[in-house]
Chains A and B, each alone.
Chain A
Amino acid sequence: MTGQSMKKGVDRRQFLATGAAVLGASVTGFPAVLRAQEQTVKIGLIHPVTGFIAFSGTQCREGALMAIADINAAGGIKSLGGAKLEAVLADSQGKPEIGAAEVTKMVEGGIHGIVAGYASSISLATSQEAAKTNTPHVVDVGVSDQIVNRGLANTFRFSPGYGKIAEFAVSNLDTINKAAGSPAKTAMIIHEESLFGTGTAELLSKALPEKGIEVIDVIKHANPTRDFTNIVLQIKSKKPDLIIPANYYNEYVLLARTMRQQKVEAKGIYSVLGGAASSPKFVAEFPEAAEQIMDCNHWYDPTSDLALQRKAAAEAKGLTYTYEVFLAYNAVAFLADAIERAGSTDKEAVIAAMGSSTFDKHGMPYGPTKMVNGQNEGAQPVNTQVQKGSIEVIYPDKFASAKPIFPMAL
């Protein structure tokens, strides 16, 4: 060590002393700060606002904050004397263990309910941690069926899970295919490697052959993947009638663009929970790549005035109205509705109110809420298709804003 660096020893001692002091504060002090306020209903929002799924996590956070702002503007929780909702924000950084740690911190801070955590892996961790203290927990987007199949009394999901989505996707694809004279006989599935993509691919691989569509290949890719050339060349060589992507936003965009660049010809691109296929951002930025892609995904009811009002409000704030926004919005609204009906923030009472919920002010194509083992049985996805730069609902007919174009006619 040089003399110069030795002189810095005093500063380092100070640094260490300060570090020890702040460690003490972190170990003993911060929960007390969180306990300070009692006049509001505290809603914990845990989302991955940094990391590789930061865009989706941020969208979730924005949707949830919109809901809190709207509920507060409408008078708060009336059964609690107009108590306002207070958002307690946390960033899971895309890591389940950090999500779980944030739950612990929030519970000690007197949180009344939690909405989390976008990705299934994070939702599994946060709901489980919340279950240890029976804290009401609503999963906003995570689609793994394991989330609600573990028998955790505190955990609810307002939106549909894999099983329902895959069943719906296959059934609707069969309907669309048959209506067009069954042009699709083969399919390739391109999916990301985590729980979401793998689970979707597994379900479709089993279900599609039962509908007369042979799955000729399933290609898994890592997150992140930034070059889809080889995968697209494989698609070109195998010439499937249907290409089925199941990936997060960035990978979906890159895959779709590469397919257009390589001039892949298929009768249809049919996504299941396509990360970008139902994204206005993708459609606006890459209209040629997006055109006529079909998706089976979360979507609002385009015939609902409430949904359209919320969409307009979100867009007025500069938000892209993606599924993360309206699912997180509704997760918060569902929780707030339960607190309203419970007339209390008592955990048991709120959980009981969520279990018996018939919440219907959601603007989703769901019908009244009916919770069975924490899962909203009324929740369902819809089929969308990008038509002339606009995302249209093409199925079910009850909610449709356009007819499907299949096979693709570009």
Chain B
Amino acid sequence: MRQLLVLLAVFSAIAVLPAVITSEFSLNIVIMMLYAALLGQAWNILGGYGGQFSFGHAAYFGTGAYAVAVLQVQLGINPWIGMVAGALLAMAVAAFIGFATFRTGLRGSYFALVTLAFAEVLRILSNSVDFTGAGVGILIPLAPGPGNLQFETKTGFFFLIWSFTLAAFLAVWWIGHSRFGASLAAVRDNEEAARALGVNAFRVKMGAIILSGLFGGLAGVFYAQYFLYLDPYIAYGPAISVESLLVPIIGGMGTLFGPLLGAVALHTVSELTRELIGDVPGISLAIYGALLVGMVLFLPRGLAGIAARFTRRNKPAGTETRHA
């Protein structure tokens, strides 16, 4: 319960930011941090809590993004409905990928490669069919207004991504404190042992991937409505999959706050390097890359690991607990 209170306090504090930050650019940074945290948390459910390392989360992101864009542009369906459809379709894609991989017992690097392949297949498909705009991409008309899931100012988008991200974090908090979460952690730590104890590993992993797909899809919906343009590389390209896994790896896999810490750290480093030495092409990216390598090398359990270490240091011996 204490963790839930901390979570609600953190998100309440974040919710105040639009009232404090007057700069649209600065608010955009916060929005992009929340968006990255959402993507990272989506990956964290399956990769961090479930131990199933996906390299293809772009499959869910792109499906959510294309669903809301295509329904809007090609069929004139309201994006609020498109948002629900996008989330459901992303879950369906996740269920399909999960069924195809978990039923056949794929794990580890085999699972990772197959998820990568699914995302690539979807990228090629979206590049080949007309209703997605193929390589030309799809452009959502600029029509600011809450009814169109577009907003005049960034504050509206802030609360959209804030609510998506809060939902994802609440879901992960629930995972960490539920029977489902315990089963998922058991499968992650030793699938055979979990099976021997009566855990239905297939069902648990399916639950995780579908939930992961839901939030990945919502991240895609947000991206589409925020930037109003998609092409196959943006939607299903490897950059999204990499960002999805990088955020929790930096922040701390299998922890509730890891993706938020990772998103804040990554965007801070990125913005700082761009701001301080952005005029020299490539240098900011090189420093950003070097910092990432350093963080992965010296923080193997992510930024959340630092907090966990301090917590343990202050606890009496024998009271250490591990949360899923």
A residues bordering B, Cβ < 8 Å? 1, 5-6, 8-9, 12, 16, 19, 22-23, 26-28, 30-31, 49-50, 54, 58, 89-91, 93, 95-97, 100-101, 104-105, 107-108, 121, 124-125, 128, 131-132, 144, 146, 150, 152, 193-195, 197-199, 202, 220, 223
Q: Is the Cβ of B227 less than 8 Å from the Cβ of A105?
A: no
Interface residue stretch chosen among B64-72, B93-101, B105-113, B263-271: B263-271
Q: Is the Cβ of B142 less than 8 Å from the Cβ of A124?
A: no
The docked-state distance in angstroms from the alpha carbon of A31 to that of B227 is 22
Q: Is the Cβ of B135 less than 8 Å from the Cβ of A220?
A: yes
Q: Is the Cβ of A50 less than 8 Å from the Cβ of B285?
A: yes
Interface residue stretch chosen among B19-27, B169-177, B187-195: B19-27
Judged by DSSP, the binding face of A is: helix
Q: Is the Cβ of A93 less than 8 Å from the Cβ of B285?
A: yes
Is B11 part of the contact surface with A, judged by Cβ < 8 Å? no
Kindly list chain B residues whose C-beta atoms are within 8 Å of the C-beta of A58.
Answer: 281
Interface residue stretch chosen among B28-36, B46-54, B75-83, B206-214: B28-36
Kindly list chain B residues whose C-beta atoms are within 8 Å of the C-beta of A100.
Answer: 227
Kindly list chain B residues whose C-beta atoms are within 8 Å of the C-beta of A197.
Answer: 135
Q: Is the Cβ of B29 less than 8 Å from the Cβ of A27?
A: yes
Kindly list chain B residues whose C-beta atoms are within 8 Å of the C-beta of A49.
Answer: 281-282
Is B278 part of the contact surface with A, judged by Cβ < 8 Å? yes
Kindly list chain A residues whose C-beta atoms are within 8 Å of the C-beta of B28.
Answer: 101, 104
Q: Is the Cβ of B127 less than 8 Å from the Cβ of A121?
A: no
Kindly list chain B residues whose C-beta atoms are within 8 Å of the C-beta of A31.
Answer: 23, 25-26
User: In the complex, which residue of chain A has the Cβ closest to the Cβ of B142?
Assistant: A128
The docked-state distance in angstroms from the alpha carbon of A229 to that of B310 is 57
Q: Is the Cβ of A22 less than 8 Å from the Cβ of B268?
A: yes
* Least CB distance, A110 to chain B, in whole angstroms: 12
Kindly list chain A residues whose C-beta atoms are within 8 Å of the C-beta of B29.
Answer: 26-27, 101
* Least CB distance, A21 to chain B, in whole angstroms: 10
Select A9's contact among B223, B264, B281, B306, beta carbons within 8 Å: B306
User: In the complex, which residue of chain B has the Cβ closest to the Cβ of A33?
Assistant: B275
The docked-state distance in angstroms from the alpha carbon of A128 to that of B284 is 26
Is B234 part of the contact surface with A, judged by Cβ < 8 Å? yes
Q: Is the Cβ of B281 less than 8 Å from the Cβ of A198?
A: no
Residue pairs across A and B with CB atoms within 8 Å: the count is 118
Is B141 part of the contact surface with A, judged by Cβ < 8 Å? yes
Q: Is the Cβ of A128 less than 8 Å from the Cβ of B135?
A: no
Q: Is the Cβ of A96 less than 8 Å from the Cβ of B229?
A: yes
Q: Is the Cβ of B26 less than 8 Å from the Cβ of A26?
A: yes
Kindly list chain B residues whose C-beta atoms are within 8 Å of the C-beta of A152.
Answer: 142
Select B231's contact among A28, A30, A121, beta carbons within 8 Å: A121
Enumerate 8 A-B pairs (CB-CB under 8 Å) in ascending A order: A16-B303, A97-B223, A101-B25, A108-B24, A121-B137, A193-B127, A193-B232, A197-B135
The docked-state distance in angstroms from the alpha carbon of A90 to that of B284 is 12
Q: Given A19-B265, A89-B278, A152-B142, answer yes or no on A27-B233 (Cβ-Cβ < 8 Å).
A: no
The docked-state distance in angstroms from the alpha carbon of A91 to that of B265 is 21
Q: Is the Cβ of A1 less than 8 Å from the Cβ of B272?
A: no
Identify the interface centre among A6, A50, A58: most chain B CB within 10 Å of its CB. A50
Is B199 part of the contact surface with A, judged by Cβ < 8 Å? no
Is B279 part of the contact surface with A, judged by Cβ < 8 Å? yes
* Least CB distance, A234 to chain B, in whole angstroms: 17
Q: Is the Cβ of A19 less than 8 Å from the Cβ of B23?
A: no
Q: Given A121-B137, A124-B229, A220-B135, answer yes or no on A27-B272 (Cβ-Cβ < 8 Å).
A: no
* Least CB distance, B205 to chain A, in whole angstroms: 30
User: In the complex, which residue of chain B has the Cβ closest to the Cβ of A100?
Assistant: B227
Is B134 part of the contact surface with A, judged by Cβ < 8 Å? yes
Kindly list chain A residues whose C-beta atoms are within 8 Å of the C-beta of B239.
Answer: 95
Is B287 part of the contact surface with A, judged by Cβ < 8 Å? no
Identify the interface centre among A27, A93, A132: most chain B CB within 10 Å of its CB. A27
Q: Is the Cβ of A131 less than 8 Å from the Cβ of B23?
A: no
Q: Is the Cβ of B309 less than 8 Å from the Cβ of A9?
A: yes
The docked-state distance in angstroms from the alpha carbon of A195 to that of B229 is 11
Q: Is the Cβ of A195 less than 8 Å from the Cβ of B23?
A: no
Kindly list chain B residues whose C-beta atoms are within 8 Å of the C-beta of A128.
Answer: 142, 228-229
In the A-B complex, the 8 residue pairs with the closest CB atoms: A198-B135, A49-B281, A105-B25, A27-B26, A104-B25, A23-B268, A26-B271, A193-B135
